[in-house]
A and B are shown apart, each in its own frame.
Chain A
Amino acid sequence: MDFLADQALLYTSKQYEEIYFHFNIKFEVKYQDLFLLCASLGFKKDRKKPIGERGREFRTNYLNTRQKSTAYSIILSDGELGKNIEAFGENEFPRKSRKRLEEYAQGGMEILIEDVFGRRWDGNQLDKSYSEYEVDLLSYLYSDSQEVPF
């Protein structure tokens, strides 16, 4: 039932692989950490995109308990797959869920590029001379969380 505890793979997209690399090398942010941030954001802003060519992958069991809860919350709230925890045991469901998470992560990354990275993303990579991405990211998420949605 707890299918994210399995060793299945989650893929980032090739298109944004450089961002994952940069956060990993420069800020020691692991792939799964950034992936989950993006997936949450994509879900919240309801933007999902196919990931296209696959980039760097990681295993779902790298997610810690709290991270798994976040990922399951996304799945359980998804318009199509959601509100159906009984389906967790079905054969195809884990695969579909992972795909959905990947799509949200892809959409979330797009949002980060538009709202946070801006001109520092040149279409291929982030401006490596800039060193405060993690601060900008948290500022963005924090102020977004404080906004009243009407």
Chain B
Amino acid sequence: MLYKVVKRSEITQGKSFGIRTVAIILALLTSAIFIMILNLNPLEVYAALIKGAFGSNYRINQTIITAIPLVITSLGIAIAFKMKFWNIGGEGQIMMGAFAASFFALRYPDLPKPILLSLMMIAGMVAGGLWALIPAFFKAQWETNETIITLMMNYIAIKWVTYLQYGPWRDKGALGFPKIPNFSDNAILPNFLGIHIGWIFALILIIIVYIFMNRSKLGYEISVLGESENTARYAGINVKRTIIIALLISGGLCGLAGMIQASAVSNTLNVEVSGGVGFTAIITTWLASLSAPFILLASILFAALIQGGSFIQTAFGIPAAAAMILEGMILFFVLGSEFFIKYKLTKNGSAKPAVSKGEI
């Protein structure tokens, strides 16, 4: 073997950021080959993607609106991932948050706006948190595999909302169309600077989560637990309690994203309310290496991909699924690039120059 793999002792943040950027560029190049196989000009497609995401004020607004739930959900997922608790149930937690918020919106449509919206927000966070609490409890109690449970609970949440939409909550005035009635005006989040105020929540939450993870005791305990459960125990951290609280927060944030989507975007509850955000947020969280400020960057990148993807569908007739392939590709390359962040390749000879000189 000519090269040998050596663990890096340390890497500067700039260098690791650089490696990730190279990975994304390589992903774009690889996808370009894929696009060329389909007899399309990759440059045109990429230009259309960018145009679709940022081409006009309207499109920029749409991209930001898409980024809002991504940011908030990613923040929630990052807290769980930091603990190496693989919460892939964001989708279900969003759904249950939206469900609980909708309960208040539909039940008390005439409450004063600030009161109703606050109630909906609290309900959304509590419901999302409780939905995440179930796998957290099993994990804390019996170390039950959380990956699959959180995922199974997504499907249960989706079936639950489908049941409501086709059953008890169905709008009888909708002429047989299976939908839940629209919210009253009091249950809809107001706009600020042309976009619903969810964007302000998202920015504030980035700061709060950043401080929480880096400056608070609980945030520190979560990190330690993620590094090693044994270390956490020796350090006197209450492991069960930490898992439960962290997941309440994680699910609560996802639930809040659900409330925002139901209230501001769809103005009602339906099965599409989460729209894959719970899964996309897993990628953005990982791309951002679980860091709150980078989550903003990654979420905007992916919101742009989603918006641009639906644009190329209408402009080129390329299915929006192409954007998913690109998403997967970017993630593959970034995952692969982490190898070069953790390890470096050194020439076998260079470690012992004196010996090799002697041999020559």
Q: Do A and B come from one complex?
A: no
Which residues of A come within 8 Å of B, CB atoms? Answer: none
